[in-house]
């Protein structure tokens, strides 16, 4: 009396993280499988070229991930990447973090990797060239990671729109 899926999971290639992005890409260190699934679904909706799952990330083919993704894990291109610390100091990196500059005023580069922080704690002392914060009421500590990612990707798409046919 519960949903069951039997399938062969797609191969997820390895990526070293040193090569610069060629389009809009997302770096995911999220450890909650439901957040990983929601993030992948959001990425597919906003035309993200690739989601790079960092070493800290939950597996995208866990039942909670698949359910939260609405099946998007089978469509969104994925790659396994290095640990979060392997991303430090990259000039093409834009990180979502409550300590960053106002997201609404940021001029996005076309080729960029967006790094999502864990809910509440953000990215800590990770060195990033660009940190973006979502303006919100001061008494709210953080947003759900998938919600914050949605807002950032929407901001990117305001500058680089998808066609309705995409």
125 compared with 105, residue with greater pLDDT: 105
| Whole-number percent of the chain with pLDDT over 90 | 57
As a whole number, mean pLDDT of residues 2-16 equals: 82
Mapping DSSP to helix (H, G, I), strand (E, B) and coil, where does residue 161 land? coil
Provide the pLDDT confidence category of residue 17 given band limits of 50, 70 and 90: confident
As a whole number, mean pLDDT of residues 15-31 equals: 90
* Whole-number Cα distances in Å, 133 to 59, 69, 83, 101, 163: 27, 25, 22, 6, 27
As a whole number, mean pLDDT of residues 137-143 equals: 84
Radius of gyration of the chain (CA): 15
Provide the pLDDT confidence category of residue 110 given band limits of 50, 70 and 90: very high
Residues 29, 115: Cα–Cα separation, whole Å: 8
Task: Record the pTM.
Answer: 0.90
Mean pLDDT of the chain: 88
The per-residue pLDDT for 92 is 85
What tokens does 38 get? 């929601």
As a whole number, mean pLDDT of residues 119-130 equals: 69
Least confident span in 31-45, 99-113, 120-134: 120-134
Is residue 85 scored above 90 in pLDDT?
no
- The string of DSSP codes covering 54-68 is -TTSPPTTSHHHHHH
Residues 40, 26: Cα–Cα separation, whole Å: 9
Q: Which of 14, 19, 57, 17 is nearest to 39 (CA)?
A: 57
């Amino acid at each position: 009396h519960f949903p069951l899926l039997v399938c062969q999971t797609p191969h997820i290639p390895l990526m070293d993280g040193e090569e610069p992005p060629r389009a809009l890409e997302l770096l995911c260190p999220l450890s909650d499988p439901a957040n990983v699934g929601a993030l992948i679904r959001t990425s597919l909706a906003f035309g993200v070229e690739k989601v790079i799952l960092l070493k800290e990330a939950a597996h995208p083919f866990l039942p909670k991930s698949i359910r939260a993704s609405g099946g998007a894990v089978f469509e969104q291109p994925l790659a396994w990447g290095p640990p979060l610390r392997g991303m430090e100091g990259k000039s093409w990196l834009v990180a979502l973090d409550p300590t960053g500059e106002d997201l609404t005023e940021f001029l996005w580069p076309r080729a960029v990797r967006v790094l999502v922080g864990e809910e509440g704690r953000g990215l800590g002392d990770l060195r990033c060239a660009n940190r973006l914060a979502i303006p919100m009421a001061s008494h709210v500590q953080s947003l759900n990671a998938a919600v914050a990612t949605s807002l950032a990707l929407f901001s990117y798409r305001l500058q680089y729109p998808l066609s309705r046919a995409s």
